[in-house]
Every structure is written in structure tokens, then in C-alpha cells.
Amino acid sequence: MQLNIPDTQQKRILIAGGGFAGLKLATKLVGSNFQVVLIDKNNFHQFQPLFYQVATAGLEPSAISFPLRKIFQHSKNVFIRVAEITGINTNSKEVTTNLGSVGYDILVMAMGVDTNFFGMQHIAKNAIPMKSVSEALRLRNTILQNFEDALIEPDAEKQKALLNVVVVGGGPTGVEVSGTLAEMKKFILPKDYPELDFNKMNIYLLEAGSRVLGGMAEHSAAKAEQYLKNLGVNVLCNAQVNDYDGLMVKIQNDVQIPAKTLVWAAGVAGIKTAGLDEALYTKGNRIKVNSYNQVEGFTDVYALGDIAYMCEGDYPNGHPQMAQPAIQQAKLLAMNLKRQIKNEPMKPYSYFNKGAMATIGRNQAVVELPFVKFYGFFAWLTWMFVHLMAIVGVKNRLLVFINWFWNYITYDQSLRLIIKPSSKSKA
């Protein structure tokens, strides 16, 4: 079965993945002399940096999701198919999906990465990751349902486990979700659940390394840790999680933490695609590419974003798996593909580090730009502005801004809904 893509005289560029890299490349090729086929398992683009706000009831999923077809509804050379890629045949230049197959002239792999549980099966089964909107919703449902269950739990130890939340991974996601949960504990949850004693609730942030925010400067990491501790978060560094059975988090030296909620933000890895040589993959299942983002050994297959492994100068272990490298690579590739048509030489990619940032809570953030580092209220405003402008769609930006403004002036959120799929009873 084919995906019913019309044949034209244009070269077909098949983009696998509608994340930051795939979406940016497709938008840059709108109106070009290429036929662009964008394949993604979802029919929408997800703004990953704000997943944690969906998980903590600060935003609705629709505020950070944008329909792909709406983005390209006036683009005659862009075709969208909702499917999952199952394999690649580089000899026949064909991609197979769960719905059928489609040929390509140029293939761009931009599938992103998924959660890495490092082979720990119990954690994979019982922990909650945050690499999609659906997983963020699952976390929101779990946390809120645990509070409901805690209301009627007579056993003190079981109630403690229902109230506790453990976050594993001290990167930006782990720091941000921990800070937001701490603010909920302080300002919101006591109003919603006056019968519960939230002094019994503990939020733990566990980091296997020596400090949180390992990708940022030591002073920024120290500031973030200070902010977290001021909010009441228990920050434990050099704390590697060994196991989790759904009730007890086990770390080294036989330390155990009772918790019914474990948020896993400790690592990512690419998903291998059938048909690609195993030798092309490196640590974290990233695909080796040259300075033009061409997959090693190919001139018609590219990899972009988190899944691409490019060694360059200050980045011998590949570029950071963040939005900026993905967007920059996509912009340059779009330009290089247009240059190819004109028989002009391609330009190599070099990462321009625009900085890094993380927010810890109200009026508290750390920001590192190439020329300055700053913290506190102004850093928090900077974080909000940058993320607001990066969201796709004016309506979505407005929704996010209204939610943020309302939360700021009222110390409250109005989205604490437990929404679960209904199960029809069998007759």
C-alpha cells in the first residue's frame, strides 16, 4: 500500500518527524521547487519545553500543540501524512510506515528522541516520563488522583507515599517540574485539599551527577539549587536511582524513599530505525552525520536535531539535544538544498550557542547568554518572553500568556482536571 502522494517533476524531500527540526525545515521549503512530504505519528507539533506545565496543571495541552495541517494549509508543495515510520531502504530509496510505503529523492530523519531508562525495566514500567503531551497528561492525572486517594487513606505510611513526588534528573526539565510542584504545594494544594497536611508532602529531586543543571555554569547551577531549596525541594546529588517498584524509590547505599509518583527526566535516546546500518549509531542511538548533516556514507540521507551526532570543535560528543541546534541545522539544510538545485556548493554547519536557561518558579530563573549570565526576576521575565515567542501560532501564545498572567496575579491555576479515557463495559 502506498501513501497516495502525487508524482510530480519536483524532487521529493521526505521529512520524518514534525518536531523543531522537521517543522522548521518544512516551513523553510514552502514554495520551493521541491515536493515536501512530512510524516509524523501525530497530526500536531508539540512544544516540548512546556510539557512540565501541562503536567503540573498550568497549561492545557491545546495551548502548546499546533495542528500541522493548519500550518501548511496554504502550501501546495507540502503533503502531510500521519503515520509511524517502520523502516528505511536506502537502496530502493523508500520509507515504510505502518500505513504503507513512499519513495524519496532526499530523506531527512528528524524523529527526535525518546526516554532512556538505561535498561531498568521496573523503572520503565512504573515511572512516568515526559516526552509527549500524552505523558504529561498522564503525570497530571496521576498526581491529582494520588491526592484524592490520600484523602481517604487511613494508613499514615501509605498516605505519605501518595503525597510524595520524586523527580529523577537534574536537567532543565527536572528542575522546572520540581520548582512548579513546590509552588503548587505552597500556594494551591492546601486550598484544594484543606483536609490534608501538606507538611507531610516531600518533593525530591535526584541527580546522579555532582550538581543540577550540568550543562550550565557552576554558579548558575548553585543558584538554581538555592532557589529549589528555598521552595522546600529536597535536592539530592550523587544519587543514582537503582530501582522503583511503584511504591518505593531505591537509590544507592540502601536509601529508600516512599513515593507513588516517580517522574523520570534523567535521559534520552534515539529509536533505531530498521534498515540503517548499526555502525551508523553512536552513544544514545544518535546517527553519525558530517558537517552538512548528511548521514555518513550517504549524500541523499540527512539527520537533524536530537538524533544527529555531529562532532565539532567545542562539541566532541555532539551538540546539546535542545531546540536551538535542531532549528539552526534545519535552516541551514533548507538553504543548502536550494543551493544544490543551483549547483552551488553547500555550507557546513557550525553551532551558534545562543545560551541556556531554566526557570525554578515565580520570579526565579537562571539565564546564560553568550555575553552575560543573570538570575532572579529579570531572568524569569527573559525565560517567559523567549518561550512565549517560540510557541507556534498567535492564538497559542495568547492562551499561554493569559494562563501565565492569571496564575501570577491569583497564585492559582484553573486546570486541575483529572481527564482519563473512558472504558466501555463489555456486555
Same domain assignment for residues 222 and 88: no
Same domain assignment for residues 143 and 211: yes
CB-based contact 383:359 (threshold 8 Å): yes
Same domain assignment for residues 191 and 326: no
Closest C-alpha to 10, from 74, 82, 79, 69 = 79
What CATH number should be reported for the domain holding residue 171?
3.50.50.100
Last residue of some domain: 318, 341, 364? 341
Q: Where are the alpha helices (DSSP H) in 373-412?
A: 377-390, 394-410
Same domain assignment for residues 252 and 129: yes
Answer whether residue 406 shows pLDDT above 60: yes
What CATH number should be reported for the domain holding residue 325?
3.50.50.60
Same domain assignment for residues 171 and 285: no
Last residue of some domain: 234, 267, 300? 267
Same domain assignment for residues 288 and 302: yes
Domain count of the fold of the chain = 2
**Is 88 domain-assigned?**
yes
Reported as half-sphere exposure (CB side, CA atoms, 13 A), residue 267 has a value of 18
Residue type, 26: A
Bridge-based pairing of strands 261-264 and 165-168 is parallel
176 is catalytic: yes
- What cell does 358 get? 531554566
Same domain assignment for residues 195 and 237: yes
- What cell does 61 get? 495541552
Digit-coded pLDDT (tens) for 73-96: 999 999 999 999 999 999 999 999
Same domain assignment for residues 193 and 308: no
pTM tops 0.85: yes
Bridge-based pairing of strands 234-237 and 203-207 is parallel
* pLDDT the model gives residue 411: 83
- Can you tell me the mean pLDDT for 34-59? 94
Closest C-alpha to 186, from 39, 364, 339, 399 = 364
**Is 404 domain-assigned?**
no
Could you give the 3-state DSSP secondary structure of residue 262? strand
Q: Any bridge partners for residue 155, and if so which?
A: none
Digit-coded pLDDT (tens) for 224-283: 999 999 999 999 999 999 999 999 999 987 889 999 999 999 989 999 999 999 999 999
CB-based contact 93:15 (threshold 8 Å): no
Answer whether residue 426 shows pLDDT above 50: no
Same domain assignment for residues 131 and 239: yes
Percent of the chain at pLDDT exceeding 90: 86
Q: Any bridge partners for residue 359, and if so which?
A: 365
**Is 179 domain-assigned?**
yes
**Whole-number average pLDDT of the chain:** 93
Closest C-alpha to 369, from 353, 390, 388, 385 = 353
Bridge-based pairing of strands 255-258 and 248-251 is antiparallel
Contacts of 336 (CB under 8 A, 6+ apart): 292, 346, 347
Answer whether residue 416 shows pLDDT above 60: yes
Answer whether residue 425 shows pLDDT above 60: no
Residue 415: pLDDT band with limits 50, 70, 90: confident
**Is 371 domain-assigned?**
no
Q: Which residue shows C-alpha cell 551527577?
A: 209
Same domain assignment for residues 280 and 332: yes
Residue type, 327: I
Same domain assignment for residues 221 and 312: no
Last residue of some domain: 323, 341, 359? 341
**Is 198 domain-assigned?**
yes
C-alpha 24/C-alpha 328 separation (Å) is 9
Residue among 176, 207, 225, 368 flagged as catalytic: 176
Digit-coded pLDDT (tens) for 354-399: 999 999 999 999 999 999 999 999 999 999 999 999 998 888 999 9
Q: Which domain holds residue 35?
A: 11-41+83-113+270-341
C-alpha 27/C-alpha 32 separation (Å) is 10
Neighbour-count burial for 372-394, b at 16+ CB within 10 Å, e otherwise? ebbbeeebbebbbeebeeebbbe
* pLDDT the model gives residue 149: 96
Same domain assignment for residues 128 and 225: yes
